[in-house]
Every structure is written in structure tokens, then in C-alpha cells.
Amino acid sequence: MISGYGQTEDVAISQASPIPGCIEAFRGRLDRGRTLVGQTSLSLSEVALYYSFANQSHLSRENRKRFATTLAASRARPLACISIRPEVASKKGV
């Protein structure tokens, strides 16, 4: 066997970044889920299932990573008070 054969391909595959469209689709699901939590009285489990998250914990964990706040805080405050992401604000001229 040739030493090192196949390692270059394995490294290239493991370092490949996720497909941008998939990331945007995931962020969209997360944004819509957060909005639904703030606008309805649906349980977090129902929202998570509706937007195809594995479970309530998955939705909550990803929300905390992206927005640095809990879904309970999103529900407690009106959505108008929730700050939007900086990249969205710059596009809207906010």
C-alpha cells in the first residue's frame, strides 16, 4: 500500500464548508420558528416539529446560538422590541 494515498481527498472533503443555500434555509426555519413563538401560544415542541427541528431542545439551542437569547424571552417581549441581526439592519437602512 502506498503511504498517504487517499489522505488528500479525505482532508478536502472534511474541510469543505456547508452549502450556503442549506445554511440560509436553516436560518430561515429558525427565524420563522422564533417569529411563530413570539406571535402564538403554540408550545415550543409544536413549533419545533412544525419547522422540522429534531425536538424542542434543538430549536432552543440553535436559537440561543444565533440570537444569544432564549425563546421564552422572545415570547415575553413583543417582536418589535427584539433586535434584528446587523446584516438585516444594514440592508434596510436601520
Other Cβ atoms less than 10 A from the Cβ of 37: the count is 24
Domains and CATH numbers, the chain: 18-92 (1.10.10.60)
Is residue 67 within 8 A of residue 34, CB to CB? The reply is yes
Are 12 and 56 in contact, with CB atoms under 8 Å apart?
no
pLDDT at position 86: 55
Please state, in angstroms and as integers, the Cα–Cα distance from residue 54 to each residue in 45, 58, 69, following that order: 9, 6, 20
* pLDDT tens for each residue of 18-47: 677 888 899 999 999 999 999 999 999 999
User: Would the pLDDT of 8 be above 50?
Assistant: no
